[in-house]
Structure 1
Amino acid sequence: MQNHSLRKNYHFFLTEELPKPEAYYVQAANAANGAANLGCPTVLIYPQRGWPAINPINLLQPFQPEKPPERVIKYYNLQDKLQVARLPMPWPIDYFKNKFTNSKTIATKYYFPFHIRATTKIVHAWNWNFIKAAIKNGIPAIYEHHHHEDKQFEPEIVNHPLFQLAVTVTDTVRESMIQHGMPAEKVIKLHNGFNRLFMERQPEKASVWREKLLQNQRSQLVVYAGALQQFKGIDILIDVAKQMPYVQFACAGGKQTEVEHYQQIAQAKQVNNISFLGFVLQNELAPLLQAADILAHPHCSGQAATFTSPLKLFDYLASGTPIVATEIPSLIDFQNTVAIAAWCEPDKPGKFATALQQVLETHPKKIDGYPDTIEFVKQFSWENRAAKILSYVDESYRPQLVA
């Protein structure tokens, strides 16, 4: 094992405090957690505001890797190898809107070169400014990018030998990045992963969820987990529920305002067999997915369908529960596999309802899940994803594994 004082870390950078429910933060926390589980000395770095940021000791020694706070561990179901470092951002940082008091500027121009660089083996970031800061400070970097953006990548950064790799989750975004100046040989498409918790069978907890959600003599449960937004197909799911009054529907995820918005839509349409649960912690979400008869993956057509990152798909698959999904570009890789029980066109509630009904008849509920699906998803662990990413990195830049 390396001497800790000389150890160089795999540093993941985020621009916002954790925990947060959005898919981006779930993805980032799990990506870092997967690298740590591989045996890489890994630190997830993010800002910290409020009273702890004012502590003079924290300001003098801002980079202090430690065990993640309990709330963050539970929120993302992190294992015990990952460390976090919370960079203090005292007032007036982020209170005044200019670049000198911007937390991203403080992190890249001050904390990184003076306090973090010496212990950094490689940087992994979703924010382009962190990538540029790494390269300019002589540190190799991996860029993660999941959305279409209409900006050119600076040639001096993307062609730099320290710029190792860009990672995205769909072919459409990869093509768009190449069109905007990213060298084709430096950008790969790599699916997201599943958290290992979702594969552990939790029949007792799943039973509690079924008891809680199944109402009015309904005996079948369809669950959706993810963002509560129109393009994700939530309005469609409400229309589907209306067509299937004998089945109970439940949606996990979304902010409180979104939950209230969709509760009102369901009431206005007189749909009383769909419940909106709000954000569900990962350790409660796993048994909820196992409690379902079917997991729904609806989605609308349009621009979002070309880049949406099917993060929930892998947690769905790990649960072993049959899935009904909409045919969208980001799911095309799974069309000729055992992953999805039934497919249907986007924007068509009637066809989605028919597909659900068909799968309810052909796929009876199994307490232990469907083994073919569980076996199929094993290739998509976060640990496998981290190993694949590092395989593209120059060997001399890879973090040294620790026992």
Structure 2
Amino acid sequence: MKKPASKTDYIFFIGDELPKPEAHLVQSTNSANAAANLGYSTILVYLYKGLAAFNPIDLLLPFRPRKTPEPLVKYYNLQDKLKVAPLPMPWPIDSFPSKITNSNTIASKYYLPFHILPKTKLVHSRDWNFVKAAVKNGVPAIYEHHHHEDKPFEPEIVNSPLFQVAVTVADTVRETMIQHGMPPEKLIKLHNGYNRLFMMRQPEKAAEWRKKLLVDGRSHLVVYAGALRQFKGINVLIDVAGAMPNIQFVCAGGDEKEVAHYRQLAKEKQVNNMTFLGYILHEDLASLLQAADILAHPHCSGNAATFTSPLKLFDYFASGTPIVATEIPSLIEFKNTKAIAAWCEPDNPSQFATAVAQVLKTHPRKIEGYSDTTDFVKQFSWENRAAKILSYVDESLRPQIVA
């Protein structure tokens, strides 16, 4: 009799197409990458659509783990231990508002039990439906949840011994999750992490960025990297730039529509010292952060300030560049450290501009970076985060280290 295949795979599921310039996708891909770097047989599962999804081989054998394609490696700065398994979602999936043709239903009710399950040891996802399906199919699961959501968690899922742990990044989200039925003993709060590339010094590439971006005689560079959304403080940063015309401000991030919107807004406000680069590949972003004199972390007040995941903050720390940050709940625990050079109130361009001017005097740019921040951030590597999460998983349910 043929011996059944052993369950070895650590599955990270993303219910979306890749690559896209969205923070939750950066977080999920880097989490999977970290687990692979720890030596686990880790497979990043995501969706793909379009004409390619009609490939007969993929439809017949949809779950075929393979080497991570180069475009994805460069987009998210992944290493070679991680494998991927894109799931085909051919038309009419997601073309009509129907549960039957919904990609989430297809992934949870078809691909998982019939194709992914045989070698899966553990599932890790931000997709609640996929986590539920894993537990119902007898697979241990880890759930990540980073935002407030007014929806109860099913008791039969969260109280199942297979539901191992839920992870969030903010105390406020943890509180609402408990209110909606998540057992406190199964819920941990952990910060996001930084990619190891951001610790590597790249003085030549940083110098190239400065040569390219510092124009019209300006000698100081302030960089923001992240989503281009109003609640993130981009409007505030435009006003700061308008008040400091001798300093070059640069924003990296956002899709084409967002970039076009903010370029137009800056033009209307006659702010000529602000450049919007759009999404920057992670292999180039590290050197951009190192090129800056200051890294900006603005944010507006309001509900989003209570749960926003400071994903970019840890890459900021790893760059060793001085940071000016806004006092919001998700950052306030860092206020008593030396890792952030200056703080200011949210929604206050004048105070932010004053803080930038102050830091330019107190923290002159160092090509090698400031050790206060680089030493501080080492505890927040994605690998340390992955190991911490797995420590909450029953030892008998953890995937084995294979490399």
Fold-level match, TM-score > 0.5? yes
Map 1:215-254 → 2, pairs under 5 A: 215-254=215-254
In the other structure, the counterpart of 2:270 is 270
Counterparts of residues 359-374 of structure 1 (less than 5 Å): 359-374=359-374
Cα separation, 2, equivalents of 1:346 and 1:96:
41
Does 2:353 correspond to 1:378?
A: no
Match of 1:281 in 2: 281
Answer whether contact 1:13 1:124 (CA < 8 A) is retained. yes
Structure 1 residue 102: deviation in Å? Answer: 1.0
What's 1:189 paired with?
189
Q: Which moved more, 1:378-387 or 1:103-112?
A: 103-112
Which residue number in structure 2 is paired with residue 151 of structure 1?
151
Amino acid at match of 1:349: P
Mapped partners of 1:344, 1:397: distance in 2 = 45
Distance in 2, matches of 1:385 and 1:280, equals 24
User: Which residue in 1 is equivalent to 2:121?
Assistant: 121
50-59 or 4-13, which deviates more: 4-13
Distance 2:4 2:39 in 1: 14
In structure 1, give the amino acid aligned to 2:141.
Answer: A
Could you tell me whether the CA contact under 8 Å between 1:52 and 1:58 is conserved in 2?
no
CA deviation after TM superposition for structure 1 residue 7, in Å: 4.8
User: How far, CA to CA, are the matches of 1:324 and 1:378 in structure 2?
Assistant: 20
Code of the aligned partner of 1:17: E
- The answer on 1:6 being equivalent to 2:6 is yes
User: What does residue range 3-402 of structure 1 map to in structure 2 within 5 Å?
Assistant: 6-402=6-402
1: CA distance between counterparts of 2:393 and 2:298? 36
CA change 1:381–1:256 in 2 (3 A) is: same
In 2, are the aligned partners of 1:45 and 1:85 still within 8 Å (CA)? yes
* Alpha-carbon distance in structure 2 between the residues aligned to 1:172 and 1:132: 24
- Cα deviation digits, residues 306-350 of structure 1 (max 9, x gap): 011000000000000000000000102211112100111111111
1:6 Cα deviation from its structure 2 partner: 3.2
Q: Match for 1:245: what amino acid?
A: P
Q: SS of the residue aligned with 1:101?
A: coil
Q: Distance in 1 between matches of 2:95 and 2:351?
A: 49
Report the 3-state secondary structure (helix = DSSP H, G, I; strand = E; otherwise coil) of the residue aligned with 1:46: strand
- My pick for the range that moved more, 144-153 or 259-268, is 259-268
Name the CA distance, whole Å, in 1 between partners of 2:218 and 2:241: 13
Cα offset, 1:96, TM superposition: 2.0
Please state how far the C-alpha of 1:5 moved relative to its aligned partner.
5.5
Which segments of structure 1 move beyond 6 Å, counting only runs of 4 or more? none
Tell me the distance in 2 between the aligned counterparts of 1:177 and 1:155.
Answer: 13
The 3 A distance-change label for structure 1 pair 308 and 183 is same
| Identity over aligned pairs, percent | 72
2:346 is paired with a residue whose SS is: coil
How far apart, in 2, do the equivalents of 1:298 and 1:4 lie? 54
**1:52, distance to aligned residue in structure 2 (A):** 2.9
Task: Name the SS for the 1:99 alignment partner.
Answer: coil
Residues 324 and 340 of structure 2 are in contact (CA less than 8 Å); yes or no, is this contact kept in structure 1? yes
Alpha-carbon separation, structure 2, partners of 1:350 and 1:107 = 49
Mapped to 2, the partners of 1:76 and 1:6 lie a distance apart of 31
Give the TM-score of the pair, scaled to structure 1: 0.98
Letter of the 1:382 partner, please give it: W
Please state how far the C-alpha of 1:4 moved relative to its aligned partner.
12
Letter in 1 for 2:373: T
Cα deviation 1:22-48 (Å, max 9, x = unaligned): 101000000000110011110000112
**CA distance in 2 between partners of 1:263 and 1:106 (Å):** 40
Specify whether residues 4 and 53 from structure 1 end up closer, same or farther in structure 2 by C-alpha distance, changes over 3 A only: farther
- Aligned residue for 2:67, secondary structure, equals coil
Secondary structure of the equivalent of 2:261? Answer: helix
CA distance in 1, matches of 2:7, 2:83: 14
- Structure 2: how far apart are the matches of 1:139 and 1:128? 14
How far does residue 398 in structure 1 lie from its aligned partner after superposition? 0.7
Residue aligned with 1:384, SS: helix
Q: Distance in 1 between matches of 2:224 and 2:336?
A: 23
CA distance in 2, matches of 1:387, 1:230: 35
Shift of 1:280: 0.8
TM score, norm. by length of structure 2? 0.98
In the aligned structure 2, how far is the partner of 1:267 from the partner of 1:58?
48
Counterparts of 1:56 and 1:9 in 2: how far apart (Å)? 25
The farther-off stretch of 378-387 and 5-14 is 5-14
Find the aligned partners of 1:59 and 1:229 in 2 and give their Cα distance.
Answer: 38
Gaps of 5+ in 1: none
Amino acid aligned to 2:318: A
Aligned-partner residue type, residue 45 of structure 2: I
Q: Distance in 1 between matches of 2:400 and 2:349?
A: 51
- Letter of the aligned partner of 2:370 in structure 1? Y
